Each structure stands twice: as structure tokens, then as C-alpha cells.
Amino acid sequence: MNTSFSFIILTYNEEMHLPRLLNSIARLNAPVYILDSGSTDNTVAIGEQFGAEVLCNPFDNHPRQWHYALGCFDIKTPWIICLDADHVVTPELAEILLNFRDEDYSDTNGIYFNRKNFFKGQWIKHGGYYPFYLLKMFRYGHGFSDLNENMDHHFVVDGKTQLWKTGHLLEENLKENNISFWINKHNRYSDLLAHEEVERMQKIRWQTVKPRFWGAPDERTAWLKAIWWQLPRYVRPMIYFFYRFIIRLGFMDGKNGIIFHFLQGFWFRLVVDIKIEEIMVHARSTNRNWRIALTFAFKFVLLFALFYYFNLGMLSLTSHGGHYNAFIANHLNYIQGLRDVLINSTAWLLRGLGHTVLTNHHQLLVPGRSTLVLAYSCLGLGISSFLSAFALAYPAKLATRLWFMLVAIVTVQLLNVIRFALLALYWNSHTGSFIDHHTLFNIIIYIAIATAIYFWTKHYDVTKHTAKNRPVYL
């Protein structure tokens, strides 16, 4: 058994690829560990047939899966090689690994493999895709998965690294020969990449690798990414495609190569930019909705307190004793005016039903029935204050708010009149009751109000009717 290095492989429904990879490393006689994501095909069985230790962990994204893989196996060798199931170790690379000795790399903690990438059976040689170095081998305990990446995962090691320019790691996902699979896969990747970039804009995600143009391959990639994030969206996919297709001779990769460079270098980047804009517009819309809600709540509380305590103040100024003011009581007393309207309306209703009714400015009497005294608490001014404050604070057109307020207050007072008529005919103050008529009326009214507000606000969608609902970009 090889005592210098072990292999860790990630899999998910890889019965098409896994035998190819395991056969390519079989003569190295190294321990193999497979972390599966819940395959439903023969992947696990194939791994076990080749003598690999197989564990399972639900998949979130590649960086997190690799982070889990590096900690869940009992690795005995000083070095590990981390591969995906669609990789193949060429005989030349296998020969280098066969002759690998830990003591020859005592000052090194990481090794980059030179990758050849294939699309629809064709090696993508140009467009910056070759040579292309991936950090795939490192000392166990000295490397980790970079969790600051969402999609474009890589490993980070402390200390010195080396590049193996000879020997190759082949990467060819045979499933991607079906273009629908490729598009669906990269559509998912674009979601991850778009959210990642937005989080970098918000300074909640950063680069782990130090950007350096003259550094190791991953450091140069970090340097290029830092520039990419500063380029204007929608323009940068065109710049990148021109760079790959013309400057880096991508057009020389033939028909399949041209398709690949267009899809991966332009289409995919454009989709990412579109999704970034969608995320930002949604975030700004959400923030705007929060501001609307907070503004509404503040206005509602302020207006309700103003109306409620204004009514109490007016009651104090128009009632004998305390702060009574004769001028206001005789000329501006809307509270008495409302009481008169309610008493007279109730009397009109009862007389229409054939009852004799006697009234004054505070009382209503139905002979042989009951006498009602309309105190301040019976007038519905608290409920009217609530409705007025809600309607005026709600972020809708003024005419719509005033119409809702008028209809709601009139409806409440009509219900009030019906209540007074029923009380005048049937209420007996000497009869015990679990709940008094004021409380019962308030329950009915507030249920009606809540129902009316629900349907009104649902019909009048603020996000569709406010002029502020326009895309605003970060």
C-alpha cells in the first residue's frame, strides 16, 4: 500500500465516470476515500468494489463538501490528492506519482497539476485553458477548502508550492455531451456566483488568497478576479469573450471549442450579471418596503395619538367642569353634533319599525323598553381615530385613502346605530351577562375592520401603485 499519499474523491451519480478515474490510479496502490452526496445509481457500489472507503454527506456546495471531506476520513498518509469523479490521471502523471517520495518535497506543502479540459470530446487547448494549473495535492493538515468561494472552489495551503508541468490531469464530464445538462448545470452555478459577488459588494465575503499577478496560479487568479469585480456588468462578458476568443486564440479550437468559449466565456458570464442585477433590485425593493412599513407605522401611531387625544381634549373643553370653554362648546362641539346624529338616526330607525321614541341631547327612550344614555365611549370616536390614522398613514393615493376612510367611518356609525336600536329594544341592565354590550360591539367592529383592511390592502398593492416602485441599483 502506498504510504506517501491518499486520494479523496467527491461523487454524485458518477457510475459513468468513477471506474475511469479509479482505473487510472489503480497501479498507484494508494488509499482511496470517497465522499458521496447521496447517489442513486451504482456509484457507491463501484467505489466499494475498488476497495475505497465510502462515506455520505448531503451536498451544499463544492467548497463546503470539500471542507467536510478533509475532516471526515482518517487519513494516514502525509499527502492527499483531491479529485472530482470526472477527472482522469494520465499515465505520465501516474508515473510521476509512482516515483513520488515525501522526503524529496520536504520544503513543499502543495503541488499544482496541469489540467487538460475537454468539451464534447475535444480538448480545449486555447482561450487561456491550457496550460491550466490546479492545486490538487498537498500535505494533509496544511491545506483547506476556501469557504469564501461559493462555486469556483479551490484549496489553500500554507508554505511553498510547486507546479508539475509534465503529466496531466484530464477533466471530461461525459454528461456535458448533452448540452441541456451543461446549460442546467451552469444555470445553477450562475445562481451561486451571482450571490457570491453580491456578498463581496456588501463586504461580507472576501478573498482568502492574496491577489498577486506574479504569484502562484491561484494568486494570479485572485488578482484577475479582483479586476473582474471592478469592471462594469454587461460589458465585462464581451471583454472576456474577446480576450479568450481573439487574444488567446480560442477561435482555433474548432467548432466545439467555439461553442464552449461562447457559452462559458460569454453566455454564462452574462447570465451571472443579469442575476446580480435581479438580486440587487430585489434587495433594494425589500429595503424600500421595510422603509415604507416603518414610515407607515410611525405615521399611524403619531396620527392615532393625535386624533385620540384631540378628541379627549375636545371632550374636556365641551363638558362642564374642568377646562370647559363656552365658545367651543356652543360653536365647535363636533362631539355633541355626532351624538345628535346618532340619537336622531336611531330614533328614525325605531320609529320606522313602529316604536314610540323620545329623545334629548344625551338620551333615547323607548317607553316600556329601555333608556339609552349615549356617553362619550358609545360614540365610536376611538375606532374612528384608528381608521382615520390607518387610512391617512397608508402609502396609497390620497383620493383612495380618503374614500376608504369615509366609507369605513360611515359603516362603523351605521353599525353603531343598529346597536343602539337593538339595545333600546332588548337590553335589560338587570340581566347578568358574560360580556357587556360595549365589549361585544368592539369585537364585532374590530373583526369587520380587520377584514376590510385586509381586502383593501390586498386589492391596493403598494408595490404596484406607488410611484417609488422603480428599479434602483446599488
Which domains are delineated in the chain? 5-175 (3.90.550.10), 179-283 (no CATH), 303-465 (no CATH)
Please give the Cα distance from 73 to 36 (Å, whole number).
13
Residue type, 142: H
Please write down the HEC assignment for all residues of 427-444: CCCCCCCCCCHHHHHHHH
As beta bridge partners, residue 252 has none
pLDDT at 430 over 60: no
pLDDT of res. 283: 81
pLDDT of residue 438: 65
Answer whether 396's CB lies under 8 Å from 462's CB: yes
Task: Give per-residue pLDDT as tens, 60-106.
Answer: 999 999 999 999 999 999 999 999 999 999 999 999 999 999 999 99
Q: 113 vs 18, 26, 30, 90, 328, CA distance in Å?
A: 19, 18, 18, 11, 92
Q: What are phi and psi of 33, to 5 degrees?
A: -120, 130
Reading the block at residue 378, the C-alpha cell is: 358609545
At residue 133, what are phi and psi to the nearest 5 degrees? Answer: -105, 130
Q: Which three cell numbers stand for residue 414?
A: 351605521
- Which residue is listed with cell 496550460? 131
Note the pTM of the prediction, 2 decimals. 0.67
As a whole number, mean pLDDT of residues 355-361 equals 91
Evaluate whether 195 touches 150 at the Cβ level (below 8 Å): yes
Query: What is the DSSP-derived secondary structure letter of residue 377?
Result: G
With 60 as the cut, is the pLDDT of residue 192 above it? yes
Angle between the N-to-C axes of helices 381-393 and 398-426, in degrees from 0 to 180, rounded to the nearest 10: 160
Q: Tell me the DSSP string of 145-181.
A: E-TT-SSS--EEESS-EEEEEEEEEEE--GGGGSHHH
Give the pLDDT of residue 111.
98
Mean pLDDT of 180-185: 96
For residue 460, name the pLDDT band (cuts at 50, 70, 90).
low
Give the chain's mean pLDDT: 90
pLDDT tens, residue by residue, 24-72: 999 999 999 999 999 999 999 999 999 999 999 999 999 999 999 999 9
Cα(367)–Cα(374) distance, rounded to whole angstroms?
17
Strand partners, 32: 7
pLDDT of residue 317: 92
C-alpha cell belonging to residue 382 = 376611538
Share of the chain above pLDDT 70, in %: 94
Q: Is 114 left (phi over 0), alpha (psi -120 to 50) or beta?
A: beta
Residue 436: predicted pLDDT: 61
Chain segment 391-424, per-residue pLDDT in tens? 999 888 888 889 989 998 999 899 889 988 988 8
Q: Which has the closest alpha carbon to 13: 55, 49, 41?
A: 41
pLDDT at 15 > cutoff 90:
yes
Task: Output b/e per residue, 412-441; b: 16+ Cβ within 10 A.
Answer: bbebbbebbbebbeeeeeeeeeeeeeeeeb
Instruction: Kindly report, residue by residue over 116-136, the tens digit of the pLDDT.
Output: 999 999 999 999 999 999 999
C-alpha grid cell, residue 176: 456535458
243-296: pLDDT as tens digits:
999 999 999 999 999 999 999 999 999 999 999 999 988 888 777 778 888 888
Q: What does the DSSP assignment read for 42-87?
A: SHHHHHHHTT-EEEE---S-HHHHHHHHHHHS---SSEEEEEETTE
